[in-house]
Structure 1
Amino acid sequence: MASARVLDTDPSATGSIVTVPEPSPDRVAQSPAAPTLAGNAALGFTQIVLWGGTFFLIAVLAEPITRSTGWPQGIVVGALSLAIFVSGLPAPWIGRMIRRHGGRPVLVAGALVIAAGQVLLAFSTSLPVFLLAWVVMGLGMAASLYDPLFAAIGQAYGASARGAMTQIAIASGFAISVCWPATNFLVGQVGWRGACLVYAGLAALIVAPLYAWAIPRQRLVATPVAPPPAAGVAGPAAALAAPARLPGERLLAVTFTAAAVIMTAISVQLLLLLQAKGVAAGTAVALSALIGPAQVGVRIVELAFGRRAHPYWALLMSAGTVALGLLLLALDPALAWLAVVLYGAGNGMRTVVRGTLPLALYGQHEYAAVMGRLARLPLFGQAVTPLVCGAVSEWLGPDALLLVLLAVATLNLGLSLAVKGVAGPSGKKPS
């Protein structure tokens, strides 16, 4: 029987001592070289293209699609919720595949699946085919957007992945600013179907090769010896059993979900909320444009000064600034500009934290599988948020919706404070 050995994990990961079985001599995982600026910039570009062709696509295409097809606008817009929901279903499995095979084949496949969905979308002549296209795109999103990308580079680079995640988030922070005007231009030149084909070409011919180039090949020269099945559980049944969640994992999932719900709600309802507070329509549009620079700015600050701090403090800052921004908007519309900047800063940090904090808490070995499990609940929350927010706004009014979002933000702040019990008083998970 293989002996056990004690590994002192990376101090920036867990700071704890863990006991693992000795790996078999013929398979040991080796870490690749450190990430490069060129590779991180390339991966940031992939996120601009993929987010622009999935999450941010329907905001521009909804009107020309309904005009040319006569399909109900509610169903056309709701197709995005369908894709988000579908993307949450295989998320844990995607994490396990990245852990087992590395991120490169998974993300390349995800980009190609998105491209296939976009081609199907371009040629959809009936509403069922249109919805099927979004189902296909949802499956690709599960394997190619932030969560699987962060899982891939976190598993590949370990503690040095934090800077890479921040650089990727900085580059991709311009996705809306670039893709909405670009998509609108494409619709004017080649129609909405042609725009879908352009995005499909970009995903298949540029994004997939960039993933193959920028994400290192996982060199697996070892796999730990599998532990014996638990008493009373047959070997095959044990192999099919879901892996046990790690300490604090459910708390993180709920915390990330609350933050994702707020982000989705603000993305859909911000203009309505600002106008309900007496802000003119044109001013509301100008204020909403502050979100992008605020997101990118706080990521640059994190890259420059945040590396020495435990990511828990970035989580707390993210939750706190979002809550403060919503509170200012509710209490004093004259400070709407500051409210929007605070929200943008908190949301910008949220993107980085959801990649860096699990890596710090659970370490490189568990990271990809944990990221897959953590992705599911936030995606489900994002899928239902537009419907719930629309109902609350219609039945109770925008002011009531703002109070609901403020309550969720307060809950998120409390949950973020509770995460300190997982990270430990010094920002390290206790042994």
Structure 2
Amino acid sequence: MTATTSNAAAIWALGVTQIIGYGTLYYSFSILAPGIAAEFELAVEWVYGFMSLALLAGGAISPYAGGLADKHGAARVLSVGSIGAAVALAVCGLAGNAYTFLAGVVLVELASSFVLYATAFALLAQATGRQAQRSITYLTLIAGFASTIFWPLTSWLLQSMDWHQVYFLFAGLNLLICLPLHLWLTRFARIAAARPSEPAPIEPLAKAGGDVIFVLVVIGFSLAGFVSAAILFHIVPMLGLLGLGASGVVVASLFGPAQVASRLINMAFGKELPAPILAVVSATMMPAALVVLVLTTPALPGAVAFAIIFGLGTGLFSIVAGTLPLALFGKAGFGKRLGWISLGRLCLSAAAPFALSVALGALGPKPSLWVLATVGAICVAVFAEIWRRSRSGRLAPAATQPA
């Protein structure tokens, strides 16, 4: 098997595990939360509060997970994470009271730090060499189907089983599909490491003032994560509050195809676009989408436009999450850098589900969305400053610059 063929196989394997990982550990929560709240006789805001606490725990462990990926290989970390994810989801399924469920959700987020994008990106940086940034783009293209598959799938499963059984099923997917694929990727990584050494990589963009730029990167991703988490955890019930009713699920299902479309567009027309510029473009789309939704609601075409624009923005941002740190700082210590970025992002994102849930009840949907749009605008300004500071360096293409 040639290096190109084996790289493609690895990307497809990671794509499958990321679809299942994000679908079972992240996207399904907003569909399951109302039933969980009803069974435990809690306000749904408290169930989202559980997720906020869990995201904090996941963020706290992210630098450690990134360091393990650098030291022992990302593929091994992914394999261990698959087992952890299956156990965590099973604990959620077994939960007979709110405290046990909270413990399960915390375990879910701890496992997420080992099995989702940060570790997958680290694997591609370690194993695909000069094709790392292109490989990251391909991976995000495949994994973009996670929400499209798991939002309606979770809703459909709840018609024939309760949320406990759904969690057991999701645990099985991680154990029976993701774990074998991650074990195979461990072998792939060993083979990749034995390939002949590559030419010296292009120097990172952040050759001067790197510490300041890194702080800005953490702030930018944290703000974007807050906006994204707030919307993704509430998109279906929020659209209902805005008068979309049952159409909310259909509108939300457009989010995934829009993510995929953004990555296809980037691959076709954005190859020469430097990573810092792509970050500004993707960040701009999120507040723009929120403004469209507020100004057009409850019109269905406006909601569709919102889902498409927001999906395009978050789709591009998934690429930026891997390519921007790689372009700015290079491959050395890449896993740990992603871990620190995840720490900042998840710490701020942890407050998002609970904060938006409270805001929706206290302010209503439209004022809450204006607040989120303002946070998104600040995020755009941060990435614009990163772009300005990096312009003195060599701006290589976001999807083609070698690692």
TM range (shorter): 0.7 to 0.9
Would the alpha carbon gap of residues 112 and 399 (structure 1) be closer, same or farther in structure 2, given more than 3 Å must change?
same
Match of residue 257 from structure 1: 222
| More moved, 127-136 vs 55-64 | 55-64
Instruction: Check if 1:309 corresponds to 2:276.
Output: no
Aligned residue type for 2:356: C
| 1:103/1:148 contact within 8 Å kept | yes
Aligned residue type for 1:141: S
- Determine helix, strand or coil for the equivalent of 1:297: helix
Structure 1 residue 381: deviation in Å? 1.4
Instruction: Check if 1:61 corresponds to 2:25.
Output: no
Match of residue 359 from structure 2: 392
The whole-number CA distance in structure 1 between the counterparts of 2:291 and 2:42 is 39
Match of residue 42 from structure 1: 13
| More moved, 285-294 vs 130-139 | 285-294
Structure 1 residue 348: deviation in Å? 0.8
- Determine helix, strand or coil for the equivalent of 1:419: helix
| 2:213/2:386 contact within 8 Å kept | yes
Instruction: Check if 1:98 corresponds to 2:72.
Output: no
Would the alpha carbon gap of residues 400 and 69 (structure 1) be closer, same or farther in structure 2, given more than 3 Å must change?
closer
Alignment of 1:88-127 (within 5 A): 88-127=59-98
Aligned residue type for 1:169: T
Would the alpha carbon gap of residues 417 and 169 (structure 1) be closer, same or farther in structure 2, given more than 3 Å must change?
same
| More moved, 307-316 vs 412-421 | 307-316
Would the alpha carbon gap of residues 52 and 284 (structure 1) be closer, same or farther in structure 2, given more than 3 Å must change?
closer
Structure 1 residue 304: deviation in Å? 2.8
The whole-number CA distance in structure 2 between the counterparts of 1:187 and 1:284 is 17
The whole-number CA distance in structure 2 between the counterparts of 1:387 and 1:69 is 17
Aligned residue type for 1:256: F
Would the alpha carbon gap of residues 371 and 417 (structure 1) be closer, same or farther in structure 2, given more than 3 Å must change?
same
Match of residue 57 from structure 2: 86
Q: TM-score scaled to structure 1, two decimals?
A: 0.79
Match of residue 149 from structure 1: 120
The whole-number CA distance in structure 1 between the counterparts of 2:367 and 2:351 is 18
The whole-number CA distance in structure 2 between the counterparts of 1:174 and 1:77 is 24
Percentage of matched positions with identical amino acids: 27
Alignment counterpart, residue 340 of structure 2, candidates 369, 373, 396: 373
In the comparison of the two structures, how many residue pairs are matched?
375
Would the alpha carbon gap of residues 139 and 270 (structure 1) be closer, same or farther in structure 2, given more than 3 Å must change?
closer
| More moved, 244-253 vs 106-115 | 244-253
- Determine helix, strand or coil for the equivalent of 1:90: helix
| 2:148/2:257 contact within 8 Å kept | no
The whole-number CA distance in structure 1 between the counterparts of 2:358 and 2:46 is 15
**Cα offsets for 1:351-382 (capped at 9, x unmatched):** 11011110111111131121111110111111
- Determine helix, strand or coil for the equivalent of 2:65: helix
**Cα offsets for 1:55-75 (capped at 9, x unmatched):** 123223334434555455443
Match of residue 293 from structure 2: 329
Alignment of 1:408-423 (within 5 A): 408-423=375-390
**Cα offsets for 1:283-316 (capped at 9, x unmatched):** 5544333322211101112223333332112111
The whole-number CA distance in structure 2 between the counterparts of 1:93 and 1:177 is 31
| 1:322/1:409 contact within 8 Å kept | yes
| More moved, 68-77 vs 323-332 | 68-77
- Structure with larger Rg: 1
Match of residue 300 from structure 1: 264
Would the alpha carbon gap of residues 319 and 387 (structure 1) be closer, same or farther in structure 2, given more than 3 Å must change?
same
Between Structure 1 and Structure 2, which shows a larger proportion of helix residues?
Answer: 2
The whole-number CA distance in structure 2 between the counterparts of 1:311 and 1:124 is 43
The whole-number CA distance in structure 1 between the counterparts of 2:304 and 2:161 is 37
The whole-number CA distance in structure 2 between the counterparts of 1:249 and 1:259 is 15
Aligned residue type for 1:82: L
Q: TM-score scaled to structure 2, two decimals?
A: 0.84
- Determine helix, strand or coil for the equivalent of 1:36: helix
Would the alpha carbon gap of residues 73 and 290 (structure 1) be closer, same or farther in structure 2, given more than 3 Å must change?
closer
| 1:158/1:359 contact within 8 Å kept | no
**Structure 2 stretches lacking a partner, 5+ long:** 195-208, 397-403
The whole-number CA distance in structure 2 between the counterparts of 1:304 and 1:68 is 48
Match of residue 401 from structure 1: 368
Structure 1 residue 91: deviation in Å? 0.6
The whole-number CA distance in structure 2 between the counterparts of 1:395 and 1:137 is 29
| More moved, 332-341 vs 198-207 | 332-341
**Cα offsets for 1:32-78 (capped at 9, x unmatched):** 94562222122111111112221123223334434555455443343
Match of residue 395 from structure 2: 428
Aligned residue type for 2:218: A
Match of residue 26 from structure 1: none
Structure 1 residue 427: deviation in Å? 5.2
Structure 1 residue 394: deviation in Å? 2.7
Would the alpha carbon gap of residues 60 and 322 (structure 1) be closer, same or farther in structure 2, given more than 3 Å must change?
closer
Aligned residue type for 1:119: A
Aligned residue type for 1:96: G
| 2:48/2:357 contact within 8 Å kept | no
Structure 1 residue 208: deviation in Å? 1.4
Would the alpha carbon gap of residues 205 and 282 (structure 1) be closer, same or farther in structure 2, given more than 3 Å must change?
closer
The whole-number CA distance in structure 2 between the counterparts of 1:212 and 1:155 is 16
